[in-house]
């Protein structure tokens, strides 16, 4: 017989912790469920510590025994796994695809009846991402030592953000962890899909723009100077057409001031970063991003879709509305939208509705405000927010298609005008040279 430590929820969502003796893990789960409890975490006591006493477990890394060696590599027991971590600059964010895949697989395993600890162990063995695997190690140790899943996630904020942690906490409280994990995976998949569409729409314009700048720079620095020398030799200092002189002057300026241009670009980038770190500067940049002629509509619709989907997912998972609004406010990535959500939070806190503060922010169209009002009146706010998000996902698709259709020919025309101007400017003097040569030969 082995001793297992468990964390479980009763029918009311109250948390219960205790120990139970059973022949194996499945028998322990069955025994806990026989008591009318829903186990959210279960681990064998012998795995959590090398001896039954708690004090030797804390001292085990110092004794250097063979059993604590794997834990010592990552920092020891529960407290070490939370407090001893690499510096933040050494830990980047893992790919969204990795986190989404983990969440989806864990939801499937838990929904199939596999205990949470067992599911984490299974996924840890097949995990290829080193940082995620290390996090799963620490999470498993934390749960085995008596911590909850949501508490364990807070030790890795660069992997599991506030949205993730709070939804898991709500799932644990309601005994529906597998449902919440499924919603998290679905949310991440849809958010990543929208993000990839926006990125994909910007690839072609950026490539064309970079090509235009590169070709223009090459012509001005390499080709134009050679034509300038030919014109000087063949025309003997005769006056050049105005367009030709303009292109040659531009070429001379670029050749003599390329360092100034490079430094100027770097200074502009640095200034943008410095100003963007200030509250007023960041707010101004966020306002401009929403007001840009072509991309502003796309960014606005993406923001509305993200806000409504995140808020709807949190509310449907059981997270209180005030807490949900604060989480959404901190994850919007746009200060204009964040300020609007802060106003909504303050209004709800005072017992008012969401409609009035939303209507005061121009980011949220009247249709969104009306649907939110209907959701509040009917008590189906979460479902209404999800419908808004689905609608605006389609709007984002249309905006991406429209932006691509508008930008592509515009950039091609700009490239053609720039290159065509240079070609014409170089061709006009050649006509004069040909005419002079023909006249001399006659």
- pLDDT at position 270: 93
Q: What is the pLDDT of residues 293-315, one digit of tens each?
A: 777 888 888 889 888 888 888 88
Q: State mean pLDDT over 367-394.
A: 89
10 Å CB burial of residue 147 (0-12, 13-18, 19+) is: buried
Q: State mean pLDDT over 275-294.
A: 86
Q: What is the mean pLDDT of the chain?
A: 79
Q: State mean pLDDT over 173-192.
A: 81
What is the C-alpha to C-alpha distance for residues 52 and 2, in angstroms, rounded to an integer?
A: 12
**How many Cβ atoms from other residues are within 10 Å of residue 375's Cβ?**
22
What is the C-alpha to C-alpha distance for residues 306 and 251, in angstroms, rounded to an integer?
A: 47
- pLDDT at position 60: 40
Q: What are 168's two structure tokens?
A: 């898991």
- pLDDT at position 231: 82
pLDDT band at 40 (very low <50, low <70, confident <90, very high): low
- pLDDT at position 263: 92
Query: Of 14 and 394, which is predicted with more confidence?
Result: 394
Does residue 388 carry a pLDDT above 70? yes
Lowest mean pLDDT among 4-13, 120-129, 327-336, 409-418: 4-13
Lowest mean pLDDT among 45-59, 193-207, 295-309, 310-324: 45-59
Q: State mean pLDDT over 134-156.
A: 85
- pLDDT at position 439: 60
Query: Of 41 and 150, which is predicted with more confidence?
Result: 150
Q: What is the pLDDT of residues 389-437, one digit of tens each?
A: 888 888 888 878 777 777 778 888 888 888 888 888 888 888 877 777 7
Does residue 158 carry a pLDDT above 70? yes
Q: What is the pLDDT of residues 317-374, one digit of tens each?
A: 788 888 888 888 887 888 898 888 999 999 888 888 888 888 888 889 899 999 999 9
Query: Domains plus CATH for the chain?
Result: 2-48+77-188 (1.20.81.30), 192-442 (1.20.81.30)
What is the C-alpha to C-alpha distance for residues 318 and 198, in angstroms, rounded to an integer?
A: 31
pLDDT band at 268 (very low <50, low <70, confident <90, very high): very high
């Amino acid at each position: 017989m082995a001793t297992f430590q468990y964390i479980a929820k009763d029918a009311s969502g109250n948390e219960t912790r205790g120990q139970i003796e059973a022949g194996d893990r499945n028998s322990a789960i069955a025994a806990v469920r026989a008591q009318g409890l829903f186990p959210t975490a279960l681990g064998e006591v012998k795995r959590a510590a090398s001896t039954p006493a708690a004090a030797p477990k804390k001292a085990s890394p110092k004794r250097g025994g063979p059993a604590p060696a794997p834990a010592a590599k990552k920092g020891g027991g529960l407290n070490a796994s939370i407090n001893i971590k690499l510096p933040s600059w050494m830990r980047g964010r893992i790919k969204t695809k990795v986190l989404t895949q983990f969440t989806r697989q864990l939801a499937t395993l838990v929904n199939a009846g596999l205990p949470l600890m067992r599911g984490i162990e299974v996924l840890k063995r097949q995990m290829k991402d080193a940082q995620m695997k290390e996090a799963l190690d620490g999470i498993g140790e934390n749960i085995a030592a008596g911590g909850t899943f949501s508490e364990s996630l807070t030790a890795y904020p660069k992997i599991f953000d506030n949205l993730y942690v709070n939804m898991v906490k709500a799932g644990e409280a309601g005994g529906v962890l597998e449902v919440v994990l499924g919603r998290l995976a679905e949310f991440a998949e849809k958010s990543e899909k929208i993000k990839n569409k926006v990125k994909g729409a910007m690839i072609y314009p950026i490539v064309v723009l970079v090509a235009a700048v590169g070709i223009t720079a090459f012509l001005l620095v390499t080709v134009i100077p050679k034509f300038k020398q030919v014109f000087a030799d063949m025309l003997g200092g005769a006056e050049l057409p105005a367009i030709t002189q303009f292109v040659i002057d531009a070429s001379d300026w670029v050749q003599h001031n390329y360092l100034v241009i490079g430094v100027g670009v770097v200074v502009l980038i640095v200034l943008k970063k410095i100003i963007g770190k200030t509250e007023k500067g960041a707010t101004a940049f966020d306002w401009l991003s929403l007001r840009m002629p072509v991309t502003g509509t796309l960014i606005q619709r993406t923001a509305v879709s993200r806000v409504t989907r995140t808020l709807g997912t949190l509310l449907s998972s059981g997270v209180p509305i005030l807490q949900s609004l604060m989480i959404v406010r901190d994850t919007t990535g746009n200060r204009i939208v964040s300020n609007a959500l802060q106003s909504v939070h303050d209004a709800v806190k005072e017992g008012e509705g969401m409609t009035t503060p939303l209507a005061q922010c121009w980011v949220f169209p009247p249709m969104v405000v009306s649907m939110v009002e209907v959701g509040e009146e009917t008590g189906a706010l979460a479902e209404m927010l999800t419908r808004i998000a689905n609608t605006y996902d389609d709007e984002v698709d249309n905006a991406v298609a429209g932006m691509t259709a508008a930008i592509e020919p515009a950039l091609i025309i700009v490239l053609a005008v720039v290159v065509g101007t240079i070609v014409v400017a170089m061709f006009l003097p050649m006509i004069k040279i040909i005419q002079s040569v023909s006249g001399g030969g006659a």
